[in-house]
Amino acid sequence: MLAGANVVLPTGTVVGGQVIVDGTRITGTAPETARVIDVSTHWLVPGFVDIHNHGGGGASFTSGTVDEVLTGIRTHRLHGTTTLVASTVTGDMDFLAQRAGLLSELAEQGEIAGIHFEGPFISPCRKGAHSEALLRDPDPAAVRKLIDAARGRAKMVTLATELPGGIDSVRLLVEHGVIAAIGHTDATYEQTKTAIDAGATVATHLFNAMPTLGHRHPGPVAALLEDERITVELINDGTHLHPAALELAFHHAGADRVALITDAMDAAGFGDGRYWLGPLEVEVADGVARLVEGGSIAGSTLTLDRAFQRAVTVDRLPVESVVAALSANPARLLGMDDRIGSLEPGKDADLVLLDADFALKGVMRRGEWVVDPQLG
C-alpha cells in the first residue's frame, strides 16, 4: 500500500490518499499483511500511455531487431510510459508489412499495445522527416495490406486524407476498428471536415506537418480543434510547439481531447549523435533531432515524464488536466480504459510516483516496480 501521497483520481486529487496494490491490480481493500510505503509529499498518477513513439534507448521500432525494440520499450518504461504503441515511419510496403509482423508478435506478448503506421500515405508537401521517394497515395488496398500484416494489432494509421483514396481508406480503417489519424496533410478546412465525417478521430501531432492556422484559410488546425470527435496529439518538448500553441489547443479542445505524445526516435533516453529514422539520417544536437539533409525536425528525444513536468511547471496546466492527457485520454482512445489510464480498483497496477517538483521517483507496471522508489 502506497500511503500519504497526492493521488490523482478521475474525480480529482486526494491529498494524503492511498493506493492499494494486490498482485498485478489495484484493489479497494488492503490485505492484513500489506506493506505500507510512506510516500508523503509525493504525487501518485496513473502510468503514462504513449500512442505515438518511434523508439528510444538507441533503438528503433522501425528497423531494430526484437531485442533492440525491447530496449526501446524498456527505456520509455523507465520514464513512466507503462503502455506504448510502436510507430513506424515511411518505408517500402513489403518492408513495412514485415515490420508489422515482428511488432505484432510483441503486441501479442503484451510488450506493446499495438502498431501505429505513420506513412507512407502522407502528403509530399508536408512530409517532414519521411522519404519522399517512398510516399504513396492512401489506396485502400495498400492500407488493407498493412492492416492484414499487423494481424489484428494495428491501432492507428496516419493519412493525408485529401489524397486520392484518402476518404475511402478512412472508412476502411473504421470498419476494421483501426484509428484513422489526420496528419502530414495539406488539406483545407473543408477537406478535413469531410475526413472527420468519414470517421477520422485523431490529429497526428497537431500544428506540425500541416498548414498553419489562417484567418481566411483556417486549414486543418481549426477543423481539428473545433470538432468534439477529434483527439489532438501534442508534443510538449519546447521545440515542436510554442507554449501559446499548447495553451490554445488545451483551451479550445479541452483537457479531455488532448493526448500528450513523445513522437520519440532512437535518441530518446540515450543522447546526442547521428541516427537513422527509416532511410533518412538524423543529427541530434542538444536534444533536438533534425534531418542531416534539409534540417527538418525528425521526431523528438522526449520522454513522457519530461512532458509531464514541463506541462505543470512551465506551462502551468492543472495536474489533473495533464494526467488526463497522458493517461486517461489515450487509454480511452485505444479502447483500453477498462484496464489502464486511471488509478481505480480492478485496473492494472500501473502508476508513476513523482516528487513535489514533479520529478519521477518511481514507476510500477502491473504491480512490479520498474523504477523502485527506495523510500524505505
Which one is catalytic: 186, 227, 237, 263? 263
CA distance 354 to 358: 5
**Integer angstrom CA distances of residue 159 from 183, 186, 239, 303:** 6, 11, 23, 25
How many CA atoms lie within 13 Å of 266's alpha carbon, on the beta-carbon side?
22
Residue type, 272: D
| Phi, psi (degrees; rounded to nearest 5) at 96 | -65, -40
Sequence-separated (6 or more) residues with CB below 8 Å from residue 333:
51, 179, 201, 202, 231, 259
Decide the pairing of beta strands 12-22 and 2-9: antiparallel
Place of cell 549523435: 273
CA distances from 83 to 59, 155, 163, 266, 356 (A): 17, 13, 32, 18, 24
CA 279 vs CA 52, 124, 243: distances in Å:
19, 16, 32
Rounded-to-5 percentages of helix, strand, coil across the chain? 30, 30, 45
CA distance 71 to 113: 16
Give the containing element (helix H, strand E) for 117: strand 114-118
pLDDT at 91: 95
b/e code 250-287 from CB counts within 10 Å (16+ = b): beebebebbbbbbbbbbbbbbeeeebbbbbbebbbeeb
Q: What is the pLDDT of residue 376?
A: 46
d(CA 362, CA 39): 10
Report the distance separating Cα 95 and Cα 119, nearest Å.
12
273 and 298 Cβ atoms separated by less than 8 Å: no
Q: What does each of the 376 residues of the chain score in pLDDT, given as a tens digit?
A: 999 999 999 999 999 999 999 999 999 888 777 889 999 999 999 999 999 999 999 999 999 999 999 999 999 999 999 999 999 999 999 999 999 999 999 999 999 999 999 999 999 999 999 999 999 999 999 999 999 999 999 999 999 999 999 999 999 999 999 999 999 999 999 999 999 999 999 999 999 999 999 999 999 999 999 999 999 999 999 999 999 999 999 999 999 999 999 999 999 999 999 999 988 999 999 999 999 999 999 999 999 999 999 999 999 999 999 999 999 999 999 999 999 999 999 999 999 999 999 999 999 999 999 999 986 4
- pLDDT for the residue numbered 375: 65
- Give the CA-trace dihedral at 302, 49, 374, 39, to 10 degrees: 110
C-alpha cell at 346: 480492478
Catalytic annotation on 263?
yes
Give dist(CA 316, CA 114) in Å, integer: 32
- For the chain, the C-alpha Rg in angstroms (whole number) is 20
Length of the chain: 376
Residue type at 315? Answer: D
